[in-house]
Every structure is written in C-alpha cells, then in structure tokens.
C-alpha cells in the first residue's frame, strides 16, 4: 500500500479529533500527524486510545507561528493537509473578534504558504455553512456551492476570508485544494459550550437550559462521523479547486433539539429558559449536498438515531465533560 503523510490541524478539537481517530484506524498505512495548540477547546484525553498507535503523532504548535510551521513542513514533507484548526464559537467571536482573525485568517495563510513551498499534494480546508449567511424559513431553499458568501458574525466572516485565501492560492499558484462547508455537527467529544452537549450536561445536572430568543432558529444537523467520511472522500476523490457542501438532511429548530434531549433523558421541559437572543443570530441554515452525493457520499446517521447515541455517549462519559467544565482537562 502507498504510504501518505497526513497533517491534521486542530486534531485535538471536536471534529478534527474525530477525524484523527477515523484516519488512524481506517488507514493504518498512513502516518497521521495531529497539530494543535491545545487552546481552551482542545484536549488530548480523547486520543488516549490511539497514543500507542505507531502511525499517530502529535505536535503542539500555533498555526500562526510562521517560522515554526515552515520548519515543521520542511522536516516532515507532508502529502496531505486537512485544515480544521480554527476559533469557532460565535459568541466568543462577538466578544473578541481579533483572535478569530489571527487564527482563522493569518493562520490559514501561514499553512497555505507552507503547503505551497513544500509542494503538498492536497490542501483540504474545512469550512462552515455559516459563510453563506442565513436562509429564510422557506423549506425549499438551500445553500449550494454557488451561493454567494454573506457572513453575518465575526466568526463566519473570518472563515469566509480564509475560504477566499484558499481559493486564491489555487487560482494564483496552482495549489491543489478543496474546500468543504458543513452544517452543524454533533456527536462524541463535542465541547460542552455548544448547544447539544451544553443541553445534555445541564439536563443531567438538573440545571436550566438557555435557549436564545424563541428557539425557532433552524439548523441542519450532521453527525461528526458522517462528516469524517465525507472529508475522507473529498481528500481522495475531490476535483482540485472544487468546493463541496456537506449536509445531514436533518433540519431542526433549536427548541426541537433541546426538547428531544430533555424528553430522551426523562426530564421536565420546565428546565428550558428563554434568554435574550444572540446578536446577528441567523434564522436558518440548510445545505444541498447533492454535489458531494454525486461523488459517492451519503450520511449514515439520521438525527433520531444519532442524537440518541450521542446522549448515551455523554451519559457514559461524564468524567470527560465534567473534567472540562471544571477546568481540569488542559494538557499543556
């Protein structure tokens, strides 16, 4: 089998971490390198089960540190780069936009320069449907790869900027790239400030669950393992320069998601607490993934099955999220 060296940035986070696990196990002949700075949402406990795998490697590194990144690329000679590393929480971007620009824009440029200089065979940039802005509540409207970028938060604006940088390095320098834009992910190891894990942890602790506004904002939910299989396909089969949307065909209002979790855990909906809406809160996201489906991908999880498995995972892994909530999980 042909050996590839694959750099996964942000591999200590939620989606990147699941992708590292997926790749290490599916491609034992690939060398998988997990690059992460281990900021607040990154932790290595999730990788305890693969630390002894000979094809798994970790390096703590800031993607915006040009000198160190260049040296790392020079020493390792990567074939593929799968770029997850990003600040990703919308509320935090409203409070402190600058760190999002540094990591998501400047960090991406550093990686692109390194990939170009060292002739990487494929640079896959993992983005988000939030770069498209928002949709109305018409169930027949969807984001496609041709939807204009109209980001509405500092987070999504920083991701849109990085998307355009990636595109430009393909158009100007011929760097082989793909961009993927996914809908909201859920599943194991999701950092507990996000809607689904936050709700699960609060319901298990009989605490109030905050819901923005009237809870009618709609998101399309994608199981993280379906996302991993989609990225795998694009990495190996995607046409250079192309964008691929990854959606789960699971549109739910935020209130529906919260009620599903509460009811599954047998608790009272009195735990729901409506709070002041988020600034610039997009109404609806929904993805048309038909381009990717033509490449051969389909999601394996529907929301009903996936959310039950996710809830059960959090019930069985309380130590993981309780340690994070207590602030004891950092491995620096």
CA distances from 324 to 186, 191, 193 (A): 17, 8, 10
DSSP secondary structure of 250-314 = -EEEHHHHHHHHHHHTT--GGGEEEEPPPTT--SB--B--HHHHHHT---S--HHHHHHHHHHHH
Tell me the C-alpha distance between 281 and 218, whole Å. 11
Q: What's the longest Cα–Cα distance across the chain? A: 57
Which is nearest to 219 in space by CA: 172, 251, 192?
Answer: 251
| SS3 labels along 201-260 | HHHHCCCCEEEECCCCCEEEEEEHHHHHHHHHHHHHHCCCCCEEEECCCCEEEHHHHHHH
Catalytic residue, candidates 31, 36, 130, 226: 130
Judge whether 130 counts as a catalytic residue.
yes
Catalytic residue, candidates 129, 163, 220, 232: 129
Q: Are 44 and 38 in contact (CB under 8 A)?
A: yes
- Strand bridging mode 251-253 / 218-223: antiparallel
Catalytic residue, candidates 155, 169, 186, 189: 155
Judge whether 76 counts as a catalytic residue.
no
CA distances from 69 to 127, 173, 197 (A): 21, 20, 33
Judge whether 129 counts as a catalytic residue.
yes
Helix, strand, coil content of the chain in percent (nearest 5):
45, 20, 35
Our measurement of the distance from residue 170's CA atom to the centroid of its chain's CA atoms, rounded to an integer in Å, reads 22
Which residues are catalytically annotated?
Answer: 129-130, 155
């Amino acid at each position: 089998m042909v050996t590839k060296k694959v750099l996964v940035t942000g591999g200590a986070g939620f989606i990147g971490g699941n992708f590292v696990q997926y790749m290490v196990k599916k491609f034992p002949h690939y060398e998988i390198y997990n690059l992460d700075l281990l900021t607040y949402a990154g932790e290595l406990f999730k990788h305890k089960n693969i630390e002894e795998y000979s094809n798994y490697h970790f390096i703590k590194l800031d993607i915006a540190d040009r000198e160190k990144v260049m040296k790392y690329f020079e020493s390792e000679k990567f074939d593929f780069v799968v770029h997850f590393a990003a600040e990703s929480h919308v509320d935090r971007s409203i409070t402190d936009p600058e760190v999002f620009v540094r990591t998501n824009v400047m960090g991406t440029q550093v990686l692109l320069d390194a990939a170009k200089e060292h002739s990487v065979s494929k640079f896959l940039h993992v983005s988000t449907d939030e770069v498209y802005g928002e949709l109305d509540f018409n169930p027949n409207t969807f984001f496609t790869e041709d939807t204009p970028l109209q980001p509405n938060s500092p987070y999504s604006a920083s991701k849109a900027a990085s998307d355009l940088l990636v595109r430009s390095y393909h158009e100007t320098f011929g760097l082989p790239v793909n961009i993927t834009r996914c809908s909201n992910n859920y599943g194991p190891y999701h950092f507990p400030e996000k809607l689904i894990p936050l709700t699960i942890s609060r319901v298990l602790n009989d605490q109030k669950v905050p819901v923005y506004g009237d809870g009618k904002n709609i998101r399309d939910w994608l199981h993280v393992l379906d996302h991993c299989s989609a990225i795998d396909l694009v990495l190996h089969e995607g046409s250079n320069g192309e964008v691929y949307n990854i959606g789960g065909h699971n549109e739910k209002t935020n209130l529906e998601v919260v009620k599903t979790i509460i009811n599954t855990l047998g608790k009272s909906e009195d735990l729901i607490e409506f709070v002041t809406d988020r600034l610039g809160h997009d109404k609806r996201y929904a993805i048309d993934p038909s381009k990717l489906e033509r490449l051969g991908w389909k999601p394996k999880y529907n929301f009903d099955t996936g959310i039950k498995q996710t809830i059960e995972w959090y019930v069985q892994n309380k130590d993981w999220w309780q340690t994070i909530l207590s602030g004891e999980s950092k491995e620096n």
